[in-house]
Chains A and B, each alone.
Chain A
């Protein structure tokens, strides 16, 4: 009964306002059907509420039809029943055609390709492939993501998905944890030693991880001891320790050869020119070396690179 009246009202809906109709259909229409198919009592109640709402809307429509100017009514009286039937069939036909058009355009929309999204104005075009930042969208609620909590469905990029609830319980989680703790008994090694090296006297063999010689961590030996390395990491400002040490060593050597005046000794300027200092230091350090040219050039190239990245990298969080 209600369904029949809805069906009867459809053509009018279409004629009056296709957009309105489309919106209503998308939002309201499937629900009464779902509700009536459901055995759940509360759902049925909700469905009845919605049916009631529908009927009241149908009532509105009837009132609308009734309020059509009396001229129309008089025309209706003067025409034959045959014509009325034909008119109704015609309207129904038009309605069906319009519906097909709507469905097709919606299907088209729902293909979800980027071009479609652009065409619908949901996305800006022409920015693909650029590093320009996308204006921020809630990733759970935007033009591409629609989640219908009521029906446990979700629309994503124009496709529909069913939502399946996560079944994992806390107990299951703990069970898995217990299983794993039995299966994998492990203690994180804290000392790395190269395979073949001897165990230092103060090291617990249980904490050692033996590393093959070709591993990226297997450096021959480190030039700094642990405490220095740690301090290097923690150093917040000033000249990095090795650079400073090198500079001091160089200065000592220069002092010994009475050439102190050639280099600035102000620590402030040193701070700003740490890399150039190093590059200017290295070649002279190697003055006596027979491979002076080769090594000197290598070093200065290296240092040049360092000085440039020093500036590009130094704008880190603490670097400004």
Chain B
């Protein structure tokens, strides 16, 4: 499992030479911080994208949003996957989505009426772009979310974060999803197909002026990484040349949480993937990146020497 501390320094520095960030580390590790510091003006509009399908965009969006809301940072999760929406399922809100952005555009309801509030997390709202079988007005499709983000910015209760769950591919859905974004979270799995798509998407985002792109490497199996059967998060980073926001291990609890409609970060007790997503949320809030990655399982010195082994 490839978790890392936030600003961990690669090598221990003598205390005299420790820069400010070391103090931050010790503050975090010994001072018991309870919340990250929000960096930058709000709302921060972040698109979660990947290019390739099924790598974990929706899982990431749901968990980042839930984690933010639990930290008391109001978040609006936008499901921009008009054709195959499932963010509502992951958040357990599927029975409560009756009004969508399409209804707002048509003048059937106001934007605030189309936001679905999570029952347990008061700071979490969901907005779906359209109903599965209804179609979104074509003519201003790409502007819809720009208006939405702008309207939320002007609303009296501006959210701290607008997280947009981007559909797979780079077609109209992608164009719509990235239009209002200022930052991007690029989700990828450590395999070559996902990486090629991720690189392409990063290129398109950069062409569009979104330069703040961070990667989340999802579904990492440390045992395979150690056996060199899987790329490590560092290999992924080397290929994409982008800062790391998080490394999320493969975790069977992801599916269980999907089935329960409760984002993994809310699991009690915490799970490895949930904790990794929680860490990614803190970094996102603080505009922090990973400085070290846990790449490989340490060989535990297993002494089979019997009773007197401690003398040796």
A157 to B272, CA, bound (A): 7
| Closest A residue to B232 using CB positions | A164
Of the candidates A179, A188, A310, which one forms a contact with B175 in the assembled complex, judged by CB atoms under 8 Å apart?
A188
A163 to B296, CA, bound (A): 8
Nearest-Cβ distance from residue B119 to partner chain A, whole angstroms: 8
The answer to whether the Cβ of A262 comes within 8 Å of any Cβ in the partner chain is: no
The answer to whether the Cβ of A139 comes within 8 Å of any Cβ in the partner chain is: yes
Instruction: Assess the B10–A165 pair: CB atoms within 8 A.
Output: yes
Given contacts A166-B237, A317-B115, are A154 and B3 in contact (CB under 8 A)?
A: yes
Nearest-Cβ distance from residue B240 to partner chain A, whole angstroms: 7
Instruction: Assess the A309–B139 pair: CB atoms within 8 A.
Output: no
Report A-chain residues with C-beta under 8 Å of the C-beta of B260: 129, 131
| Closest B residue to A125 using CB positions | B269
Instruction: Assess the B269–A216 pair: CB atoms within 8 A.
Output: no
The answer to whether the Cβ of B230 comes within 8 Å of any Cβ in the partner chain is: no
Report A-chain residues with C-beta under 8 Å of the C-beta of B262: 131
Instruction: Assess the A211–B172 pair: CB atoms within 8 A.
Output: yes
Given contacts A133-B120, A166-B234, A243-B107, are A218 and B10 in contact (CB under 8 A)?
A: no
Chain-B contact segment, one of A80-88, A169-177, A280-288: A169-177
Report B-chain residues with C-beta under 8 Å of the C-beta of A163: 4-5, 8, 10, 292-295
| Closest A residue to B118 using CB positions | A131
A163 to B242, CA, bound (A): 19
The 0/1 profile, CB within 8 Å of B marked 1, for residues 288-320 of chain A is 000000000000000001101110111111110
Nearest-Cβ distance from residue A28 to partner chain B, whole angstroms: 15
| Closest B residue to A151 using CB positions | B12
Given contacts A128-B269, A150-B12, A216-B135, are A313 and B156 in contact (CB under 8 A)?
A: no
Within 8 A of B (CB), among A90-128: 92-93, 96-97, 99-100, 110, 114, 117-118, 123-124, 127-128
The answer to whether the Cβ of B108 comes within 8 Å of any Cβ in the partner chain is: yes
Given contacts A134-B268, A316-B113, A317-B112, are A168 and B151 in contact (CB under 8 A)?
A: no
Report B-chain residues with C-beta under 8 Å of the C-beta of A189: 142, 172, 175
The answer to whether the Cβ of A273 comes within 8 Å of any Cβ in the partner chain is: no
Of the candidates B151, B199, B243, which one forms a contact with A233 in the assembled complex, judged by CB atoms under 8 Å apart?
B151
Nearest-Cβ distance from residue B94 to partner chain A, whole angstroms: 12
Of the candidates B108, B147, B204, B222, which one forms a contact with A230 in the assembled complex, judged by CB atoms under 8 Å apart?
B147
| Closest A residue to B303 using CB positions | A103
Q: Count A-B contacts at CB 8 Å.
A: 356
A141 to B143, CA, bound (A): 42
Instruction: Assess the B172–A117 pair: CB atoms within 8 A.
Output: no
Report B-chain residues with C-beta under 8 Å of the C-beta of A156: 1, 3, 272, 275, 294
Nearest-Cβ distance from residue A240 to partner chain B, whole angstroms: 5
A159 to B294, CA, bound (A): 11
The 0/1 profile, CB within 8 Å of A marked 1, for residues 264-287 of chain B is 001111101001001101100000
A237 to B110, CA, bound (A): 7
| Closest B residue to A310 using CB positions | B113
Interface residues on A, range: 35 or more
Chain-B contact segment, one of A54-62, A64-72, A191-199, A253-261: A191-199
Nearest-Cβ distance from residue A285 to partner chain B, whole angstroms: 15
Report B-chain residues with C-beta under 8 Å of the C-beta of A219: 135-138
Within 8 A of A (CB), among B96-137: 96, 98-99, 101, 104-117, 120-121, 125, 130, 135-137
Report B-chain residues with C-beta under 8 Å of the C-beta of A165: 10-11, 291-292
Of B3, B109, B296, B300, chain A has the most CB atoms within 10 Å of the CB of B109
Within 8 A of B (CB), among A207-246: 209, 211, 215-224, 226, 228-230, 232-238, 240-245
Instruction: Assess the A192–B138 pair: CB atoms within 8 A.
Output: yes
Report B-chain residues with C-beta under 8 Å of the C-beta of A168: 237-238, 241-243
A312 to B95, CA, bound (A): 11
Report A-chain residues with C-beta under 8 Å of the C-beta of B101: 233
Interface residues on B, range: 35 or more
A113 to B307, CA, bound (A): 27
Given contacts A192-B141, A223-B106, are A184 and B200 in contact (CB under 8 A)?
A: yes
Report A-chain residues with C-beta under 8 Å of the C-beta of B298: 153, 159-162
Report A-chain residues with C-beta under 8 Å of the C-beta of B8: 147, 149, 163
Instruction: Assess the B14–A42 pair: CB atoms within 8 A.
Output: yes
Known A118-B269, A123-B268; further 15 A-B contacts with Cβ < 8 A: A117-B269, A161-B295, A163-B293, A176-B242, A180-B203, A184-B200, A188-B175, A188-B207, A189-B142, A190-B143, A192-B139, A219-B136, A308-B98, A314-B113, A319-B115
Instruction: Give 24 A-B contacts (CB < 8 Å), ordered by A residue.
Output: A10-B310, A42-B14, A114-B269, A131-B262, A136-B34, A152-B11, A161-B2, A168-B237, A180-B202, A180-B203, A185-B207, A188-B179, A209-B172, A217-B82, A217-B172, A218-B135, A219-B135, A236-B112, A243-B108, A305-B98, A309-B96, A314-B112, A317-B112, A318-B157
Counting from the closest, the 7 A-B pairs by CB-CB distance are: A176-B241, A165-B10, A184-B203, A222-B137, A309-B98, A242-B107, A317-B157
Question: Interface of B with A (CB < 8 Å)?
Answer: 1-6, 8-12, 14, 25, 28-30, 32-35, 70-71, 74, 82-83, 92, 96, 98-99, 101, 104-117, 120-121, 125, 130, 135-144, 147-148, 150-152, 154-157, 159, 171-173, 175-176, 178-179, 199-200, 202-204, 206-208, 211, 222, 232, 234, 237-238, 240-244, 260, 262, 266-270, 272, 275, 278-279, 281-282, 289-298, 300, 307-308, 310-311
